[in-house]
Amino acid sequence: MEQPRALISVWHKEGVEELSSALSSMGWQILSTGGTARKLRSAGIPVIDVSEATGHPEVFDGRVKTLHPAVHGGILARRDRLDDMKTLNELGYGPIDLVCVNLYPFVETAARDPPATNAELIEMIDIGGPTMVRSAAKNHKDVIVLTSPSQYEEVVIKLSEAGGGPAAIGMEERAKLALEAFQSTAAYDTAVSNELESRFRGAKTPSMINMATGGENPLRYGENPHQPASFYPEAGEPTGLASAVQHGGKPLSYNNYLDLDGALRLARNIIHSCSDHQHGCVVIKHTNPCGAAVDLTQSEAWKNALASDPESAFGCVIAFTKEVEPSTADAIGDHFFECMIAPGYHPEALAALSSKKNRRMLTLQHMGPRQTALSLRQVSGGWLAQAQGPPAVDWDNAKCVTKRQMDEKDFSLARFGCAVLSEVKSNAIILVSETPTGLATVGVGPGQTSRVEAVRIASRRAGVRARGSMMVSDAFFPFRDGIDSANDIGVSSVVQPGGSMRDQDSIDAANEHGISMLFTGTRLFLH
């Protein structure tokens, strides 16, 4: 058997010594470049510099070292084509049977804080590495391509069991490695494209949408048992739900992820908008809030959030803005919930919560205030993109338009109400009230085609607690009937964006009923 050759050139050098040593001991010749070659030599592994094989030195600070026919001819030559092999021989180049490459750390450099300069970032755009990976993946029938240290061990074992020859790696495994190679270069190019888009263009929405993800995490099923489903974390360092640590219980479902996402968004809204309150609690069912509350104590925040709609909260998802305390776990008691997410859990609280079967508690350490970010949504034939974040109300310019005015307490309640309302599906109406030591929803009317019907639903859920409450609407009232309905249930104040041609009718109705009304100037639809 002709001596097989491996080209090894990696930035991340985890496991590369072990891989190269194993290949060398099985009779492979090792070609390498720059820092990889130096590391292997220092470990006593025989290495041939790529520049020796090409007859051309590395130039331009390593920008050009593997971009040569001796490299790519050795990778791309088809072994079953006599003309390919004849040409390769005439040129004096040898075949390359394994390519092990990982790429410059563009993603890590782009994530640096303080940010890397454009010049620094540009130097982290790998050219030769992706080219070799793509060449090897294209010719995977003849070339084994490795792009991650996680692949090394299995390949070494199979080679060693078969005497070290490249034929030990069958076509199924080669195809799998080739697919992973193309996925790695696609993700890399996506990262470059997206980062340069933000730096060179700086628009609020991208000129083109490119996406890359981490590996597939299959779920039990989708929204319904007949629908296959998976979760794909964003590429790069895990963030959001991908970074959450689960404590106990069965794996998360598709619906769990949707509800946890809704709970997390709302919890972060509360952190953003209600920082003057110690604790926040959110109760979510089918992506809509059943209730939310802020309070001096966490257990009271939970009790008040639950009281908003205890019937709907059966089988809910709960979010807390602070570490869960033992007293909170005691207050939750036997209440049936699917999942809980919080920045952490006191050991006694976690033990108590875990005592019930199938509860899933998740820790998300970095649960900071919500930030505006690009949101993508698939529709038939394409994608929609928009900037989405906490409610963008300019409270300095919010205007009370009625004879009865609002005080600072009312404004605090309005800010809380808008933080919650922005995560309720439209048309949406919520009723919020002060509690002895905090603020809470008392009725939520989500997702109605009629705004008046949303008022009725919120009222029905609030019951007697509607009296004296504040009604918050995600959009203007087109007719005065919404204000009249608010008066019928005892609402004392109304918050809405304004902007209807009939705003004056609503203002007149509020004045007739002695209701104060605030115009925020900001619609809060969530379709």
Catalytic annotation, residues: 138, 286
Residues 6+ apart with CB under 8 A from 16: 8, 10, 36, 39, 40, 100, 149
Q: Please state, in angstroms and rounded to a whole number, the distance separating the CA atoms of residues 317 and 309.
A: 13
DSSP 324-392: BPHHHHHHHTT--EEEEEES-B-HHHHHHHTTSTT-EEEE-S-------EEEEEEETTEEEEEEE-S--
DSSP 202-236: --SS-SS----B---EE-S-SSSTTS--EE-PBSS
Tokens 């003057």 correspond to 276
CB atoms within 10 A of CB 227: 10
Phi, then psi, of 3 in degrees rounded to 5:
-60, 120
CA angle 497, 502, 505 (to 5 degrees): 100
Report how far Cα 510 is from the mean position of its chain's Cα atoms: 43
If you count DSSP H runs as helices and E runs as strands, how many of each does the chain have, helices first? Answer: 18, 21
Q: Which token pair is 192? A: 């470059």
- What is the CB-side half-sphere exposure of residue 234 using CA atoms within 13 A? 12
Q: Please state, in angstroms and rounded to a whole number, the distance separating the CA atoms of residues 230 and 414.
A: 38
Q: Please state, in angstroms and rounded to a whole number, the distance separating the CA atoms of residues 26 and 29.
A: 9
Q: For residue 268, give Cα distances in angstroms to 36, 434, 523.
A: 44, 21, 19
| Helix, strand, coil share (%) of the chain residues, nearest 5 | 40, 20, 40
Is-contact 359 340, C-beta < 8 A?
Answer: yes
**What is the end-to-end Cα distance of the chain in Å, rounded?**
65
**384 has which bridge partners?**
377
Phi, then psi, of 524 in degrees rounded to 5:
-125, 45
